[in-house]
Amino acid sequence: MGIAERKERQKKEVRDSILQSAWQLVNEEGWQNLSIRKIADAIEYSVPVVYDHFENKEAILTVFNRRGFQLLGDELRAAKGTQSEPKKKLEAIAFAYWDFAFRHKEYYQLMFGLGMPGCEELAKVPELVAFIEVIGSVISQVVAEGNNRSADVQLKVRSFWSTIHGLVSINLLAPPSTHEGVSMDQMNKMILNDFIMGFLKGLTE
Amino acid sequence: MGIAERKERQKKEVRDSILQSAWQLVNEEGWQNLSIRKIADAIEYSVPVVYDHFENKEAILTVFNRRGFQLLGDELRAAKGTQSEPKKKLEAIAFAYWDFAFRHKEYYQLMFGLGMPGCEELAKVPELVAFIEVIGSVISQVVAEGNNRSADVQLKVRSFWSTIHGLVSINLLAPPSTHEGVSMDQMNKMILNDFIMGFLKGLTE
DNA sequence: GTATTTTTCCTAACAGCGTTAGCAAAGGTA
DNA sequence: TACCTTTGCTAACGCTGTTAGGAAAAATAC
């Protein structure tokens, strides 16, 4: 009775072709413009067939979300393996992560929900420039106080902004699990304090 | 000729009511579910009237985007004003930023494009947990090497992840402007190096 | 005060979306 | 050959952003 096997194989083929077409469409037009109808068109089946393989559109995106994390994990592990000293390992991981995000922009967007409409010219929004300036002015002061001539203020501003943005957004989309009776709020405060201490130390050497 | 003035005033009133209704809808149903038709319904005008005041839907969101940055800037300035010592100022700014993001989640999402479908349970995705584990194992090693007993590994992992996520996503949506002949790539490398150095120093005290 | 022009605002449509009900045809089974 | 199951389609529902075109109202001119 090879019939059942063949059917399963064919079903899997259709499923794969859905994912493949979807991925191609995402790369061509961005995941914002992915639609079931376009996928159906690409796989040369009618729309409802897609729903025989995935409950809904989100289920398709979830597959890529997971693939993204899988891939990122793999790359981090690989980077870790290139070094033997722990500190070097950590360094390699950081670079690998960075690299991943820029080599796989689509994945990264899918994983962390970037890609807002109008975010391309975000850097030019005057209100944004103004609020960055607030940070810049203070950092200049701190740098000037500690006599650290080598510090590049613009660089430090970006570090500061980036870091706190990272802390905040990770905490918004994946709040820390409480552990050992420490509340989430306390944990957040600890993370924030940790960051500030480290950053200030780095500013004044 | 007060007629022209009255007309302008009325036009402004409609515009304001569009924004007000839109904001209410965003708060009630999230900005993903905002629609022109719902706005038209709320202001008790027909759909095309909305287009007399805004070119398209994105233009409405852009207003809130800017308002968000304006508000954030204001709050940072206020926080800055509560302290006199520069380091304390910077600390206050960090806390104010953090505070802003959680008190104005909708604004923050609008400003930095969070709010992916299915991001609520992101923390449970096994592939994510696995990739976090890669970082965790290395950080444990580093902490164990330097004899720093006080360091909380889980905390450090979150700091690391958050920070590098922040660096990456800020660089994706608002790439740094080149300055003084330094290329973007060089600048990114400097920021990344800066971060790694600071982080490692913080790990081993 | 009536006629004309401008402004205001609505109905209705186009093209697209995610999703599903229901039916025809093809495939496998007895 | 007759029956049943699976497969995959058409067509629809209710939503979306956006726009064309016309009716009614308001302002202006005579």
Is residue B33 a part of any domain in this protein?
yes
- Residue B118 region, left (φ>0) first, then alpha (ψ -120 to 50), else beta? left
Express as a percent the part of chain B with pLDDT over 90.
47
Residues A109 and A126 in one domain: no
Could you tell me which residue, A72 or B190, shows the higher pLDDT? A72
Is B47 near chain A, with CB under 8 Å?
no
Q: Which domain holds residue A36?
A: 11-54
Residues A127 and A105 in one domain: no
Among A202, A197, A188, smallest CA distance to A157 is for A202
Is residue B38 a part of any domain in this protein?
yes
Residues A40 and A73 in one domain: no
Chain A positions in Cβ-Cβ contact with residue B168 (cut-off 8 Å): 97-98, 101-102, 108
Tell me if A163 and B165 make a contact (CB, 8 A cut-off): no
Is residue A4 a part of any domain in this protein?
no
Q: Cα–Cα distance between B157 and B135 in angstroms, integer?
A: 7
Residues A19 and A92 in one domain: no
Q: Cα–Cα distance between B58 and B14 in angstroms, integer?
A: 18
Angle formed at CA B46 by CA B41 and CA B48, multiple of 5 degrees: 125
The single-letter DSSP state of residue B180 is T
Is residue B32 a part of any domain in this protein?
yes
Residues A176 and A156 in one domain: yes
CATH, residue B47 = 1.10.10.60
Is residue B83 a part of any domain in this protein?
no
With a CB cutoff of 8 Å and minimum separation 6, the contacts of A194 are B155, B156, B159, B202
Q: Cα–Cα distance between A5 and A28 in angstroms, integer?
A: 34
Comparing CB atoms, the residue among B58, B142, B170 nearest residue A90 is: B142
Q: Cα–Cα distance between B71 and B104 in angstroms, integer?
A: 10
Q: Cα–Cα distance between B181 and B164 in angstroms, integer?
A: 25
Residues A159 and A94 in one domain: no
CB A72 within 8 A of CB B131: yes
* Residue B7 confidence (pLDDT): 75
Residues A143 and A200 in one domain: yes
* pLDDT single digits (tens) B5-38: 777 788 899 999 999 999 999 999 999 999 999 9
Domain boundary among the residues B54, B70, B85 is at B54
Interatomic CA–C1' length for residue A1 and nucleotide C28, angstroms: 11
At B172, the pLDDT band (50, 70, 90 cuts) reads confident
Domain boundary among the residues B54, B70, B87 is at B54
- Find which of A98, A105, A140, A193 to mutate to test the B interface (most B CBs within 10 Å of its CB): A98
DSSP one-letter string for B2-34: HHHHHHHHHHHHHHHHHHHHHHHHHHHH-GGG-
Is B18 near chain A, with CB under 8 Å?
no
Could you tell me which residue, A159 or B188, shows the higher pLDDT? A159
* Residue A116 confidence (pLDDT): 64
Alpha helices by DSSP H, chain A: 2-29, 36-43, 47-53, 57-81, 86-103, 105-112, 126-145, 153-173, 184-204
Residues A73 and A132 in one domain: no
* pLDDT single digits (tens) B74-130: 999 999 999 999 889 999 999 999 999 999 999 999 998 876 666 667 778 899 989
Residues A134 and A150 in one domain: yes
- The three-state DSSP-derived secondary structure of B47-100 is HHHHHHHCCCHHHHHHHHHHHHHHHHHHHHHHHHHCCCCHHHHHHHHHHHHHHH
Rounded to the nearest angstrom, the minimum Cα separation between A78 and chain B is 10
Total domains in chain B come to 2
Window 74-113 of B: residues touching A by CB (8 A cutoff) are 76-77, 80, 86-87, 89-91, 93-95, 97-98, 101-102, 105, 108, 110, 112-113
Tell me if A161 and B170 make a contact (CB, 8 A cut-off): yes
Q: In sequence order, what are the beta bridge partners of A179?
A: A182
Is residue B114 a part of any domain in this protein?
no
Residues A107 and A126 in one domain: no
Q: Cα–Cα distance between A110 and A30 in angstroms, integer?
A: 10
The helix/strand/coil state of A179 is strand
Is residue B34 a part of any domain in this protein?
yes
Is residue A82 a part of any domain in this protein?
yes
* Residue A149 confidence (pLDDT): 65
Domain boundary among the residues B17, B38, B54 is at B54
Chain B positions in Cβ-Cβ contact with residue A159 (cut-off 8 Å): 167, 191, 194-195
- Taking the CA atoms of residue A116, residue A134, residue B165 and residue A34 in that order, the dihedral angle to the nearest 10 degrees is 0
Please state the pTM of the whole predicted model.
0.89
Residues A98 and A134 in one domain: no
* pLDDT single digits (tens) A128-145: 989 889 999 988 888 888
Q: Which residues of chain A fall below pLDDT 70?
A: 1, 3, 115-120, 147-150, 178-181, 184, 205
Q: Cα–Cα distance between A96 and A19 in angstroms, integer?
A: 26
Tell me if A130 and B94 make a contact (CB, 8 A cut-off): no
